[in-house]
């Protein structure tokens, strides 16, 4: 998207700040709100040059000294923008037509800007997006579910957002790509780096078919804290977050918690009750999370009113089609031995005349047979009632 409404000096200042402060650092968000990006950068740069202006408010002397030192080591923002441009990336700021407004829900923790690689509009794609996240060390079941959700959501016109990591993230991206759908990878490193290294081909495919996004400037390396902070962007950008396999101390659960904090939907795919890798998902489901098992159930939650998942039920057996009164008479007929009409009527709570009519109806349908004065189930009905009907 080429339309821009942010002045060049503001864009340069915000791009420079991505070199100086860490993602999601709220004091920087307050400075931008109170002083603006250009003045904030001026104060930091002039402090590096030896100016005596006081430090920006809300930080300790040691933290201010660290920021000033980082500013002194940072390359000019023009170089970062040029470096990004070489790989077809751009820097999107709040105020740009492409900026996703839902990121503003993060308040002072919203990104300073986003480095975006790929052709589509991030704002347009984010309007109809769902995050699918989960464990890196996942099971085969988790891979199947992640890929199935990614493909199913993409087939229904939804954008699949994840973090590009091993495990569930990769499965969700691959599922969407395999369905020739839309997917976005939110990285915890520079837009021109691949992490993990084994995903160079996957991230390349995402960039060709979808979008690769990062808060960090070109060349920036990932750190544990950056992965955690990245999760807030995934949660804020999307309509809801689905967690597929996550242990108690999983970063994916952090994404779901951010989703809940921001008023988004948090969903979980259940696993075996004994699975440690699903324990965190089950804890989420015991509290605020919503259980989902496929893309249709996800869309029912995050989509427009009336987009309902189909009603789930077991296979219909002949007994299901009987009127309730007839079904009660059938339930009173024994599988072994016989009962008289009167005995059946008493157990079913029906009169003799009504019981007689129901029994002959059941005989015409092949459920019961008469033996002298008694009645019993047919062999076929034994299978239908006790196997297909769910009783034991």
The two tokens of residue 80 are: 């970062």
Whole-number Cα distances in Å, 32 to 91, 349, 385:
17, 77, 70
Q: Are 115 and 217 in contact (CB under 8 A)?
A: yes
Q: What is the pLDDT of residue 287?
A: 92
Query: If you average pLDDT over every residue of the chain, what do you get?
Result: 90
Q: What is the pLDDT of residue 233?
A: 98
Q: What is the pLDDT of residue 389?
A: 45
3-state secondary structure of 315: coil
Please tell me the distance from the alpha carbon of residue 359 to that of residue 356, in angstroms, as a whole number.
5
Q: Is the pLDDT of residue 105 over 50?
A: yes
What residues pair up with 114 in beta bridges, in sequence order?
A: 92
Q: Which residues touch 383 (CB under 8 Å, ≥6 apart)?
A: none
Please tell me the distance from the alpha carbon of residue 391 to that of residue 167, in angstroms, as a whole number.
41
Please tell me the distance from the alpha carbon of residue 268 to that of residue 319, in angstroms, as a whole number.
35
Q: Are 257 and 283 in contact (CB under 8 A)?
A: no
For the chain, give the percent of residues with pLDDT over 90: 75
Please tell me the distance from the alpha carbon of residue 288 to that of residue 247, in angstroms, as a whole number.
17
Helices 37-48 and 26-34, axial angle in degrees (round to 10): 110
Alpha helices of the chain — where are they, by DSSP H? 8-20, 26-34, 37-48, 61-73, 77-86, 122-126, 140-155, 168-178, 200-209, 224-237, 251-261, 279-286, 295-302, 324-332, 341-348, 352-364, 379-383
pLDDT in tens, 227-269: 999 999 999 999 999 999 999 988 899 999 999 999 999 999 9
Q: What is the pLDDT of residue 200?
A: 94
What residues pair up with 339 in beta bridges, in sequence order?
A: 375
Residue 186: pLDDT band by 50, 70, 90 thresholds?
very high
pLDDT in tens, 53-93: 667 888 888 899 899 999 999 999 999 999 999 999 999 99
Q: What is the pLDDT of residue 303?
A: 86
3-state secondary structure of 353: helix
Q: What is the pLDDT of residue 366?
A: 86
The two tokens of residue 205 are: 């495919």
Whole-number Cα distances in Å, 204 to 9, 55, 88, 210, 220:
31, 42, 12, 10, 18
Please tell me the distance from the alpha carbon of residue 257 to that of residue 129, in angstroms, as a whole number.
18
Q: What is the pLDDT of residue 55?
A: 78
- Section 362-376 average pLDDT: 89
Helices 251-261 and 224-237, axial angle in degrees (round to 10): 40
Q: Is the pLDDT of residue 2 over 90?
A: no
Please tell me the distance from the alpha carbon of residue 197 to that of residue 89, in angstroms, as a whole number.
20
pLDDT in tens, 273-295: 999 999 999 999 999 999 999 99
Phi, psi (5° rounding) for residue 275?
Answer: -85, 120
pLDDT in tens, 374-392: 999 988 777 655 544 444 3
Q: What is the four-CA torsion angle of 42, 45, 51, 52, rounded to 10 degrees?
A: 70
Q: What is the pLDDT of residue 53?
A: 61
Q: What is the pLDDT of residue 180?
A: 94
Burial class of residue 64, CB neighbours in 10 A (0-12, 13-18, 19+): middle
């Amino acid at each position: 998207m080429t339309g821009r409404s942010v002045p060049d000096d503001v864009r340069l200042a915000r791009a420079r700040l991505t070199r100086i402060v860490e993602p999601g650092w709220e004091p920087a968000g307050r400075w931008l709100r109170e002083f603006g990006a250009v003045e904030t950068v001026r104060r930091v740069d002039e402090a590096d040059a030896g100016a005596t202006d006081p430090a920006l408010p809300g930080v300790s002397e040691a933290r201010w000294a660290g920021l000033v030192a980082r500013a002194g080591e940072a390359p000019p923002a023009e170089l970062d923008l040029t470096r990004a441009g070489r790989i077809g990336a751009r820097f999107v700021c709040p105020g740009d037509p492409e900026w996703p407004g839902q990121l503003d829900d993060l308040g002072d923790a919203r990104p300073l800007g986003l480095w975006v690689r790929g052709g589509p509009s991030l704002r347009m794609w984010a309007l109809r997006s769902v995050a699918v996240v989960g464990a890196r060390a996942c099971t085969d079941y988790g891979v199947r579910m992640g890929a199935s959700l990614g493909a199913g959501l993409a087939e229904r016109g939804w954008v699949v957002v994840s973090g590009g990591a091993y495990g569930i993230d990769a499965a969700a991206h691959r599922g969407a790509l395999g369905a020739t759908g839309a997917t976005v990878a939110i990285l915890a490193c520079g837009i021109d780096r691949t992490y993990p290294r084994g995903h160079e081909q996957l991230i390349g495919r995402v960039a060709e078919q979808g979008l690769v996004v990062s808060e960090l400037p070109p060349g920036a390396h990932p750190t544990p804290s950056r992965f955690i902070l990245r999760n807030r962007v995934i949660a804020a950008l999307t309509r809801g977050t689905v967690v597929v396999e996550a242990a108690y101390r999983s970063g994916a659960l952090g994404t779901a918690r951010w989703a809940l904090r921001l008023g988004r939907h948090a969903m979980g795919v259940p696993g075996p009750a004994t699975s440690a890798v699903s324990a965190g998902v089950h804890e989420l489901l015991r509290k605020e999370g919503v259980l989902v098992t496929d893309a249709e159930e996800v869309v029912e939650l995050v989509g427009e009113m009336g987009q309902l998942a189909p009603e789930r039920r077991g296979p219909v057996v002949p007994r299901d089609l009987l009127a309730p009164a007839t079904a009660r008479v059938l339930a009173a007929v024994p599988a072994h031995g016989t009962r008289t009409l009167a005995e059946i009527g008493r157990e079913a709570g029906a009169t003799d005349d009504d019981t007689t009519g129901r029994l002959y109806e059941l005989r015409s349908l092949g459920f019961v047979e008469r033996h002298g004065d008694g009645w019993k189930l047919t062999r076929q009905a034994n299978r239908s009632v006790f196997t297909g009907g769910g009783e034991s």
